[in-house]
Amino acid sequence: MRNYNKILYSLIAILVVYTASFVVFIMYSITNFAFSDFYKRLELRRNLAAEEMFYGKSVATGWSLSYVEELNKQREFIVELDASGKIIHSSGFDKKLWKHIDKTGTSNFKIGNTFYATKYYFQKGRHYILGVSAENYFYTHHLNYLRNLLIVALLLGVLFVVVISLLVKRSFIKPISELIGEVEKIGSENLYLRLTVGRDSGVLSKLADTFNQMLTRIETSFETQKNFISNASHELNTPLTSIIGIADLALSKQRNVDEYKYSIQKIADAAENLEKKTSALLLLARTGFENNNLNFKPVRIDQIIMDAEMTVKAINEHFHIKTDFSMLPDDSIKLKVNGSAPLLQLAISNVVSNACKYSTNHTAYVALGAFDKGVLILIRDEGIGIPAEEMSFIYDPYFRASNTANFSGYGIGLPLARNIIKMHNGQLSVASTLGKGTTVRIELPSIDSRLL
């Protein structure tokens, strides 16, 4: 806010200085014009007076001084000099002017409101200085009026600028202060609050809307983190508790070899389960960072899908996958995306594996197509579906729907797949109907052919 005040006051100062400079420039220009114009008028009268005085009439111009309008308080004077430049006699001459006069040429000068134009003449062996003086009515009256008018205009202009600037400052700072007040009320305990977005489409409205979107992402992250910690602690504690319990039971008394083998096998199974969950957790955490240093390169999605099918079938030979490539574009370039082939294969194989696992016929239906600026992957099953009230939690790590108790799993596959797709600037969305099946829609931006 202080920076804004500095900028505002600086702009006001610049505008005031500019206006004052403009006023000074106008006064200087008009004054110079008025002076030079008036001196020319005086010189004309001086030359006419010299012709009439020395020749008795205006020989050179054909004009007479009597034909020219007399200026305000116009007077003529003449001074005769000797060879040494001393005054012999004068007519209408004020000796106070002597120091301002050029004794060998012309001179124009001003004393008070009176302007003078003089010139040295040499006629018939005699030396003269002839001069004309008058008051510049335009300077004494009109310029004073213009000066006062410009000063008043300058003061009113400065006052206008200051008032308008303060009003603009108030109207601009008020909504910002309101936004600051709303932001200060938002904390980790009330992330559901949102800033008020104005009806207009101005910068502040866009700022408030952008901040609200950020709050939504932060709120989602907080909720996801809370659910993740809750579920992860449960999922990791269960095998650890099992391992500790089996070990304590085996060590509680002397047992035979078969009983020890049985206990060790149980511990190994629980440890393997813990290792899988930990590995999935680490992979999920690694893909949760958007700014990673993976080396992306152009890959073909149809090849990724075929590799994912082979991976899923290798995991469980009872899984079936039906792929529809009928929507493939004629230009194979449209099937290329910029990404990591192993990660994309992991994401798609996880989704396909879930579709097979939760279907009664263990079948997943996969379709691949392309649109203007990307590729589209649809993965559908005819399985148990997801309850509608639980759809908002499907991306939470370790979350499993209430109807999946009879199916093995860790609740990592879908959040992991979504993170990978987001890393590739894509979108993953899920639509599901309880008891009828689930459809996963994946959109990935294709590579611009011009960049290849």
Cβ count near 295 (within 10 Å) = 5
Cα atoms found within 13 Å of the Cα of residue 111, Cβ hemisphere only: 11
As a whole number of angstroms, the distance between CA 267 and CA 240 comes to 9
What residue ranges in 246-373 does DSSP mark as E strands? Answer: 297-300, 320-327, 336-339, 359-371
User: Do 134 and 114 meet the contact criterion of CB atoms below 8 Å apart?
Assistant: yes
Q: Determine how β-strand 359-371 pairs with β-strand 320-327.
A: parallel
Cβ count near 298 (within 10 Å) = 14
As a whole number of angstroms, the distance between CA 175 and CA 329 comes to 51
* Cβ within 8 Å of residue 181, ≥6 positions away: none
As a whole number of angstroms, the distance between CA 196 and CA 199 comes to 10
3-state secondary structure of 377: strand
What was the pLDDT predicted at 230? 56
DSSP 8-state assignment for residue 393: G
What was the pLDDT predicted at 440? 94
H-only helix segments in 288-340:
301-315
What was the pLDDT predicted at 293? 46
Cβ count near 189 (within 10 Å) = 7
* Cβ within 8 Å of residue 49, ≥6 positions away: 65, 76, 130, 132
* Cβ within 8 Å of residue 377, ≥6 positions away: 301, 305, 348, 366, 367, 368, 441, 442, 443, 444
**Structure tokens belonging to residue 309:** 């099918």
As a whole number of angstroms, the distance between CA 106 and CA 28 comes to 24
Task: Enumerate helices (H) and strands (E) in the chain, giving the number of each.
Answer: 8, 12
**Structure tokens belonging to residue 446:** 């294709």
Angle at 334 between CA 332 and CA 340, to 5 degrees: 100
What residue ranges in 190-319 does DSSP mark as E strands? Answer: 297-300
As a whole number of angstroms, the distance between CA 248 and CA 256 comes to 15
As a whole number of angstroms, the distance between CA 53 and CA 55 comes to 6
Q: What is the pLDDT along the chain (452 residues), one digit of tens a residue?
A: 566 667 777 777 887 788 888 888 888 888 888 888 888 888 888 888 888 777 765 444 444 556 667 788 888 888 888 888 788 888 888 888 888 888 888 999 988 888 999 998 888 888 889 999 998 877 767 777 777 888 888 888 888 877 887 777 777 777 777 788 888 888 777 777 788 876 666 777 888 888 888 887 776 667 656 655 655 665 677 678 888 888 888 888 888 888 888 888 888 888 877 776 676 566 555 555 444 445 788 999 999 999 888 888 877 888 899 998 888 887 778 888 988 888 888 889 889 988 998 988 899 999 998 887 889 999 999 989 999 998 888 887 777 888 887 887 767 778 878 888 888 888 999 999 998 999 999 999 988 644 44
As a whole number of angstroms, the distance between CA 132 and CA 119 comes to 9
3-state secondary structure of 122: strand
